[in-house]
Protein backbone atom coordinates (compact mmCIF):
# COMPACT_ATOMS: atom_id res chain seq x y z
CA UNK A 1 0.00 0.00 0.00
CA UNK A 2 1.45 3.35 -1.03
CA UNK A 3 1.89 6.06 1.59
CA UNK A 4 -0.82 8.66 1.40
CA UNK A 5 -0.32 12.39 1.70
CA UNK A 6 -2.05 13.90 4.74
CA UNK A 7 -2.32 17.69 4.69
CA UNK A 8 -3.50 19.95 7.51
CA UNK A 9 -4.90 22.57 5.18
CA UNK A 10 -4.94 26.31 5.76
CA UNK A 11 -6.48 26.96 2.32
CA UNK A 12 -8.69 24.08 1.24
CA UNK A 13 -9.24 25.29 -2.32
CA UNK A 14 -5.51 25.53 -3.00
CA UNK A 15 -4.81 22.20 -1.28
CA UNK A 16 -7.56 20.42 -3.20
CA UNK A 17 -6.48 21.92 -6.53
CA UNK A 18 -2.92 20.70 -5.91
CA UNK A 19 -4.14 17.22 -4.88
CA UNK A 20 -6.33 16.91 -7.98
CA UNK A 21 -3.49 18.09 -10.22
CA UNK A 22 -1.39 15.17 -8.94
CA UNK A 23 -4.07 12.75 -10.17
CA UNK A 24 -4.54 13.17 -13.95
CA UNK A 25 -8.08 12.09 -14.80
CA UNK A 26 -10.72 12.09 -17.50
CA UNK A 27 -13.77 12.56 -15.25
CA UNK A 28 -14.15 13.85 -11.70
CA UNK A 29 -16.78 12.67 -9.22
CA UNK A 30 -17.65 14.02 -5.78
CA UNK A 31 -19.30 11.74 -3.20
CA UNK A 32 -21.31 13.24 -0.32
CA UNK A 33 -24.07 12.05 1.96
CA UNK A 34 -27.27 14.00 2.53
CA UNK A 35 -25.84 15.75 5.59
CA UNK A 36 -22.53 16.84 4.05
CA UNK A 37 -24.35 17.88 0.87
CA UNK A 38 -26.26 20.39 2.98
CA UNK A 39 -23.57 21.49 5.46
CA UNK A 40 -20.20 21.00 3.73
CA UNK A 41 -20.68 21.05 -0.04
CA UNK A 42 -21.51 24.80 0.03
CA UNK A 43 -17.93 25.42 1.22
CA UNK A 44 -16.46 23.74 -1.87
CA UNK A 45 -19.09 23.91 -4.61
CA UNK A 46 -17.66 27.00 -6.32
CA UNK A 47 -14.05 25.79 -6.33
CA UNK A 48 -12.61 26.07 -9.82
CA UNK A 49 -10.91 22.68 -9.44
CA UNK A 50 -14.32 20.98 -8.99
CA UNK A 51 -15.89 22.64 -12.02
CA UNK A 52 -17.63 20.05 -14.19
CA UNK A 53 -17.56 17.35 -11.52
CA UNK A 54 -20.42 14.86 -11.18
CA UNK A 55 -22.14 14.69 -7.80
CA UNK A 56 -23.09 11.40 -6.16
CA UNK A 57 -25.10 11.60 -2.91
CA UNK A 58 -25.93 8.73 -0.56
CA UNK A 59 -27.93 8.45 2.65
CA UNK A 60 -26.29 9.60 5.89
CA UNK A 61 -25.42 7.58 9.04
CA UNK A 62 -23.88 4.14 9.49
CA UNK A 63 -27.17 2.42 8.64
CA UNK A 64 -26.40 3.25 4.99
CA UNK A 65 -22.90 1.74 5.01
CA UNK A 66 -24.27 -1.24 3.12
CA UNK A 67 -23.81 -3.33 0.00
CA UNK A 68 -26.91 -1.66 -1.48
CA UNK A 69 -25.43 1.81 -1.03
CA UNK A 70 -22.08 0.63 -2.40
CA UNK A 71 -23.85 -0.73 -5.48
CA UNK A 72 -25.64 2.59 -5.95
CA UNK A 73 -22.27 4.38 -6.05
CA UNK A 74 -20.90 1.88 -8.59
CA UNK A 75 -24.06 2.44 -10.68
CA UNK A 76 -23.67 6.23 -10.51
CA UNK A 77 -20.02 5.96 -11.58
CA UNK A 78 -20.99 3.67 -14.46
CA UNK A 79 -23.83 5.93 -15.63
CA UNK A 80 -21.56 8.95 -15.26
CA UNK A 81 -19.09 7.46 -17.73
CA UNK A 82 -16.33 6.75 -15.23
CA UNK A 83 -13.30 4.89 -16.54
CA UNK A 84 -10.27 3.44 -14.78
CA UNK A 85 -8.69 6.89 -15.28
CA UNK A 86 -11.38 8.75 -13.35
CA UNK A 87 -11.00 10.36 -9.92
CA UNK A 88 -13.37 10.55 -6.95
CA UNK A 89 -13.37 13.05 -4.08
CA UNK A 90 -15.02 11.79 -0.89
CA UNK A 91 -16.42 14.72 1.10
CA UNK A 92 -17.88 13.54 4.39
CA UNK A 93 -17.49 11.63 7.61
CA UNK A 94 -16.16 8.15 8.21
CA UNK A 95 -19.07 6.41 6.53
CA UNK A 96 -18.49 8.39 3.31
CA UNK A 97 -14.71 7.95 3.30
CA UNK A 98 -14.95 4.22 4.15
CA UNK A 99 -17.63 3.41 1.59
CA UNK A 100 -16.37 5.87 -1.01
CA UNK A 101 -12.84 4.53 -0.69
CA UNK A 102 -14.11 0.98 -1.15
CA UNK A 103 -16.23 1.97 -4.17
CA UNK A 104 -13.24 3.70 -5.78
CA UNK A 105 -10.89 0.81 -4.93
CA UNK A 106 -13.09 -1.75 -6.65
CA UNK A 107 -14.68 0.10 -9.60
CA UNK A 108 -12.83 -0.87 -12.81
CA UNK A 109 -10.39 -2.68 -10.44
CA UNK A 110 -9.59 0.63 -8.81
CA UNK A 111 -9.69 4.35 -9.50
CA UNK A 112 -7.85 7.00 -7.49
CA UNK A 113 -9.59 8.94 -4.77
CA UNK A 114 -9.08 11.88 -2.42
CA UNK A 115 -10.58 12.14 1.07
CA UNK A 116 -11.81 15.38 2.61
CA UNK A 117 -13.02 14.27 6.06
CA UNK A 118 -15.61 16.58 7.57
CA UNK A 119 -16.08 15.10 11.06
CA UNK A 120 -13.59 14.82 13.87
CA UNK A 121 -13.93 11.03 13.78
CA UNK A 122 -13.08 10.81 10.10
CA UNK A 123 -10.18 13.25 10.47
CA UNK A 124 -8.39 11.30 13.18
CA UNK A 125 -9.50 7.79 12.26
CA UNK A 126 -11.50 6.75 9.23
CA UNK A 127 -9.82 8.78 6.49
CA UNK A 128 -6.23 8.03 7.50
CA UNK A 129 -4.58 4.65 7.07
CA UNK A 130 -6.10 3.18 3.92
CA UNK A 131 -8.86 1.07 5.45
CA UNK A 132 -12.03 1.03 3.36
CA UNK A 133 -15.19 -1.02 3.67
CA UNK A 134 -18.85 -1.55 4.46
CA UNK A 135 -20.89 -3.31 7.12
CA UNK A 136 -22.26 -6.72 6.13
CA UNK A 137 -24.30 -9.46 7.76
CA UNK A 138 -24.85 -7.33 10.86
CA UNK A 139 -21.09 -6.93 11.44
CA UNK A 140 -19.03 -3.74 11.34
CA UNK A 141 -16.64 -3.26 8.42
CA UNK A 142 -16.92 -6.92 7.46
CA UNK A 143 -16.07 -6.37 3.78
CA UNK A 144 -13.33 -4.05 2.55
CA UNK A 145 -9.78 -3.56 1.31
CA UNK A 146 -6.61 -1.73 2.28
CA UNK A 147 -6.11 1.04 -0.28
CA UNK A 148 -4.86 4.48 0.68
CA UNK A 149 -6.35 7.69 -0.68
CA UNK A 150 -4.05 9.68 -2.96
CA UNK A 151 -4.41 12.60 -0.55
CA UNK A 152 -6.24 13.35 2.70
CA UNK A 153 -7.05 17.01 3.27
CA UNK A 154 -7.91 18.07 6.81
CA UNK A 155 -9.64 21.42 7.28
CA UNK A 156 -10.89 21.92 10.82
CA UNK A 157 -13.41 24.60 9.76
CA UNK A 158 -15.78 21.69 9.13
CA UNK A 159 -15.69 20.87 12.85
CA UNK A 160 -17.78 23.99 13.50
CA UNK A 161 -20.66 22.30 11.62
CA UNK A 162 -20.72 19.42 14.11
CA UNK A 163 -22.96 19.01 17.13
CA UNK A 164 -21.53 18.01 20.49
CA UNK A 165 -22.26 14.32 19.98
CA UNK A 166 -20.22 14.10 16.80
CA UNK A 167 -17.34 16.07 18.33
CA UNK A 168 -17.28 13.61 21.25
CA UNK A 169 -17.47 10.66 18.87
CA UNK A 170 -14.26 11.67 17.13
CA UNK A 171 -12.65 12.65 20.40
CA UNK A 172 -12.85 9.04 21.61
CA UNK A 173 -10.41 7.99 18.88
CA UNK A 174 -8.11 10.82 19.96
CA UNK A 175 -8.33 9.51 23.53
CA UNK A 176 -7.32 6.08 22.24
CA UNK A 177 -4.35 7.64 20.45
CA UNK A 178 -3.37 9.33 23.71
CA UNK A 179 -3.50 6.03 25.58
CA UNK A 180 -1.17 4.33 23.10
CA UNK A 181 1.30 7.22 22.99
CA UNK A 182 2.40 9.14 26.11
CA UNK A 183 1.04 10.14 29.54
CA UNK A 184 1.31 13.77 28.45
CA UNK A 185 -0.94 13.28 25.43
CA UNK A 186 -3.43 11.27 27.52
CA UNK A 187 -3.55 13.93 30.27
CA UNK A 188 -4.04 16.75 27.77
CA UNK A 189 -7.03 14.93 26.31
CA UNK A 190 -8.62 14.31 29.72
CA UNK A 191 -8.29 18.01 30.59
CA UNK A 192 -9.55 19.56 27.33
CA UNK A 193 -12.87 21.42 27.71
CA UNK A 194 -15.36 19.81 25.35
CA UNK A 195 -18.16 22.11 26.52
CA UNK A 196 -16.36 25.32 25.51
CA UNK A 197 -14.17 24.25 22.60
CA UNK A 198 -11.01 26.15 21.71
CA UNK A 199 -10.92 25.24 18.00
CA UNK A 200 -7.37 26.51 17.51
CA UNK A 201 -6.14 24.22 20.29
CA UNK A 202 -8.30 21.39 18.94
CA UNK A 203 -6.67 21.76 15.51
CA UNK A 204 -3.25 21.36 17.13
CA UNK A 205 -4.47 18.27 18.98
CA UNK A 206 -5.92 16.82 15.77
CA UNK A 207 -2.57 17.25 14.04
CA UNK A 208 -0.81 15.38 16.89
CA UNK A 209 -3.43 12.64 16.91
CA UNK A 210 -3.15 12.12 13.16
CA UNK A 211 0.66 12.01 13.46
CA UNK A 212 0.40 9.22 16.07
CA UNK A 213 -1.74 7.14 13.74
CA UNK A 214 0.39 7.93 10.67
CA UNK A 215 3.56 6.77 12.41
CA UNK A 216 1.98 3.44 13.30
CA UNK A 217 0.39 2.91 9.87
CA UNK A 218 3.65 3.68 8.08
CA UNK A 219 5.43 0.96 10.09
CA UNK A 220 2.63 -1.60 9.57
CA UNK A 221 0.30 -0.62 6.70
CA UNK A 222 -1.68 -3.88 6.49
CA UNK A 223 -2.11 -4.62 10.21
CA UNK A 224 0.28 -7.56 10.57
CA UNK A 225 1.56 -6.40 13.94
CA UNK A 226 2.02 -2.92 15.44
CA UNK A 227 -1.02 -1.42 13.69
CA UNK A 228 -3.20 -3.59 15.91
CA UNK A 229 -2.41 -1.01 18.62
CA UNK A 230 -5.06 1.13 16.92
CA UNK A 231 -7.67 -1.51 17.79
CA UNK A 232 -7.57 -0.65 21.51
CA UNK A 233 -11.21 -0.42 22.61
CA UNK A 234 -12.50 -1.78 19.32
CA UNK A 235 -13.03 -5.48 20.02
CA UNK A 236 -15.69 -4.63 22.60
CA UNK A 237 -16.66 -1.38 20.88
CA UNK A 238 -17.56 -3.12 17.63
CA UNK A 239 -19.58 -5.69 19.59
CA UNK A 240 -21.53 -2.84 21.22
CA UNK A 241 -22.13 -1.31 17.78
CA UNK A 242 -23.30 -4.61 16.31
CA UNK A 243 -25.69 -5.21 19.21
CA UNK A 244 -27.06 -1.68 18.86
CA UNK A 245 -27.57 -2.15 15.11
CA UNK A 246 -29.34 -5.45 15.71
CA UNK A 247 -31.65 -3.80 18.27
CA UNK A 248 -32.28 -0.70 16.12
CA UNK A 249 -30.67 1.67 18.61
CA UNK A 250 -27.77 2.89 16.50
CA UNK A 251 -24.88 4.46 18.42
CA UNK A 252 -22.03 6.61 17.16
CA UNK A 253 -18.77 4.75 16.55
CA UNK A 254 -16.72 6.90 18.90
CA UNK A 255 -19.12 6.36 21.77
CA UNK A 256 -18.81 2.60 21.28
CA UNK A 257 -15.01 2.93 21.26
CA UNK A 258 -15.07 4.99 24.47
CA UNK A 259 -17.17 2.35 26.22
CA UNK A 260 -14.91 -0.34 24.74
CA UNK A 261 -11.87 1.45 26.20
CA UNK A 262 -13.35 1.10 29.69
CA UNK A 263 -13.76 -2.64 29.20
CA UNK A 264 -10.37 -3.24 27.66
CA UNK A 265 -8.49 -1.09 30.17
CA UNK A 266 -10.12 -3.18 32.90
CA UNK A 267 -8.90 -6.32 31.12
CA UNK A 268 -5.49 -4.62 30.85
CA UNK A 269 -5.48 -4.01 34.61
CA UNK A 270 -6.38 -7.65 35.30
CA UNK A 271 -3.99 -9.18 32.76
CA UNK A 272 -1.18 -6.63 32.34
CA UNK A 273 -1.25 -4.68 35.63
CA UNK A 274 -2.32 -1.47 33.88
CA UNK A 275 -2.33 1.20 36.65
CA UNK A 276 -5.71 1.25 38.39
CA UNK A 277 -5.58 5.02 38.99
CA UNK A 278 -5.30 5.61 35.23
CA UNK A 279 -8.11 3.13 34.61
CA UNK A 280 -10.39 5.02 36.99
CA UNK A 281 -9.42 8.45 35.65
CA UNK A 282 -10.21 7.31 32.12
CA UNK A 283 -13.42 5.58 33.24
CA UNK A 284 -14.63 8.72 35.01
CA UNK A 285 -13.92 10.82 31.91
CA UNK A 286 -15.80 8.37 29.69
CA UNK A 287 -18.77 8.12 32.06
CA UNK A 288 -19.08 11.91 32.34
CA UNK A 289 -18.53 12.56 28.63
CA UNK A 290 -20.30 9.65 26.93
CA UNK A 291 -22.80 8.34 29.44
CA UNK A 292 -23.43 4.59 29.39
CA UNK A 293 -24.39 1.92 26.89
CA UNK A 294 -27.12 -0.07 28.61
CA UNK A 295 -27.40 -3.83 28.37
CA UNK A 296 -28.14 -6.62 30.81
CA UNK A 297 -26.61 -10.04 31.49
CA UNK A 298 -29.08 -11.67 29.09
CA UNK A 299 -27.17 -10.00 26.25
CA UNK A 300 -23.72 -11.26 27.30
CA UNK A 301 -23.94 -14.28 24.96
CA UNK A 302 -24.79 -12.05 22.00
CA UNK A 303 -21.94 -9.66 22.76
CA UNK A 304 -19.54 -12.60 23.14
CA UNK A 305 -20.73 -13.97 19.79
CA UNK A 306 -20.08 -10.63 18.10
CA UNK A 307 -16.55 -10.61 19.54
CA UNK A 308 -15.88 -14.04 18.04
CA UNK A 309 -16.29 -12.44 14.59
CA UNK A 310 -13.64 -9.77 15.19
CA UNK A 311 -11.10 -9.62 12.35
CA UNK A 312 -8.13 -9.67 14.77
CA UNK A 313 -8.99 -13.13 16.06
CA UNK A 314 -6.65 -16.04 15.43
CA UNK A 315 -6.89 -19.79 16.13
CA UNK A 316 -10.49 -19.42 17.35
CA UNK A 317 -9.39 -17.11 20.17
CA UNK A 318 -10.78 -13.65 20.82
CA UNK A 319 -7.84 -11.25 20.60
CA UNK A 320 -7.51 -7.88 22.28
CA UNK A 321 -5.04 -5.05 22.19
CA UNK A 322 -4.16 -4.32 25.82
CA UNK A 323 -1.86 -1.93 27.70
CA UNK A 324 0.59 -2.57 30.52
CA UNK A 325 0.75 1.22 30.91
CA UNK A 326 0.09 4.25 28.74
CA UNK A 327 2.14 3.69 25.58
CA UNK A 328 3.12 0.15 26.62
CA UNK A 329 1.16 -1.80 24.02
CA UNK A 330 0.53 -5.56 24.07
CA UNK A 331 -1.12 -6.88 20.91
CA UNK A 332 -2.66 -10.31 20.27
CA UNK A 333 -3.79 -10.88 23.85
CA UNK A 334 -6.43 -13.61 24.01
CA UNK A 335 -9.05 -13.79 26.75
CA UNK A 336 -11.25 -16.60 27.98
CA UNK A 337 -15.02 -16.51 28.04
CA UNK A 338 -14.91 -16.16 31.84
CA UNK A 339 -12.57 -13.17 31.62
CA UNK A 340 -14.79 -11.51 29.03
CA UNK A 341 -17.95 -12.02 31.11
CA UNK A 342 -16.11 -10.63 34.14
CA UNK A 343 -15.14 -7.60 32.05
CA UNK A 344 -18.78 -7.03 31.06
CA UNK A 345 -19.78 -7.32 34.73
CA UNK A 346 -17.22 -4.66 35.65
CA UNK A 347 -18.51 -2.36 32.93
CA UNK A 348 -22.11 -2.60 34.08
CA UNK A 349 -21.21 -2.15 37.75
CA UNK A 350 -18.79 0.76 37.26
CA UNK A 351 -20.69 2.58 34.48
CA UNK A 352 -24.17 2.15 35.92
CA UNK A 353 -25.51 0.02 33.07
Environment class of residue 348 by beta-carbon count within 10 Å: exposed (0-12), middle (13-18) or buried (19+)? middle
Are residues 253 and 322 both part of a single domain? yes
CATH code (residue 245): 1.20.1090.10
pLDDT category of residue 271 using cuts at 50, 70 and 90: very high
The one-character DSSP state at 124 is: I
pLDDT category of residue 108 using cuts at 50, 70 and 90: very high
Are residues 194 and 234 both part of a single domain? yes
Are residues 30 and 153 both part of a single domain? yes
Are residues 207 and 300 both part of a single domain? yes
* Residue-range definition of the domain harbouring residue 221: 164-351
Give the residue from 135, 161, 187 where a domain finishes: 161
Are residues 184 and 58 both part of a single domain? no
pLDDT tens figures, 6-55: 898 989 999 999 999 999 999 999 999 999 999 999 999 999 999 999 99
Q: At what angle do helices 337-351 and 300-308 cross, to 10 degrees?
A: 130
pLDDT category of residue 193 using cuts at 50, 70 and 90: very high
C-beta separation of 16 from 153 below 8 A: yes
Are residues 208 and 135 both part of a single domain? no
d(CA 142, CA 134): 6
pLDDT tens figures, 42-58: 999 999 999 999 999 99
Average pLDDT over residues 61-68: 94
Give the residue from 132, 161, 190 where a domain finishes: 161
Environment class of residue 238 by beta-carbon count within 10 Å: exposed (0-12), middle (13-18) or buried (19+)? buried
CATH code (residue 137): 3.40.50.1970
170 closest CA partner among 216, 120, 215, 135: 120
* % of the chain residues with pLDDT over 70: 99
Are residues 122 and 190 both part of a single domain? no
Are residues 48 and 81 both part of a single domain? yes
Give the residue from 137, 161, 185 where a domain finishes: 161
C-beta separation of 158 from 40 below 8 A: yes
Are residues 175 and 294 both part of a single domain? yes
**pTM of the predicted structure, to 2 decimals:** 0.86
Amino acid sequence: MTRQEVIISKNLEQSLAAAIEKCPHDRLFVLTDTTTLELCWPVTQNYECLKGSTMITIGATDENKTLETLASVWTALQKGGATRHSLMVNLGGGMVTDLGGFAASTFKRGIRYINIPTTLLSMVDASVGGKTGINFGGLKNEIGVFNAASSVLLDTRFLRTLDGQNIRSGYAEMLKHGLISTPREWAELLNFDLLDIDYTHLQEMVAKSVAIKEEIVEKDPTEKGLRKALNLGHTVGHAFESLALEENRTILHGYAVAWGLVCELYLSAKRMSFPKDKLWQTLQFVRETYGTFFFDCKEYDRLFDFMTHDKKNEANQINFTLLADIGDIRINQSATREEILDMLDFYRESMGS
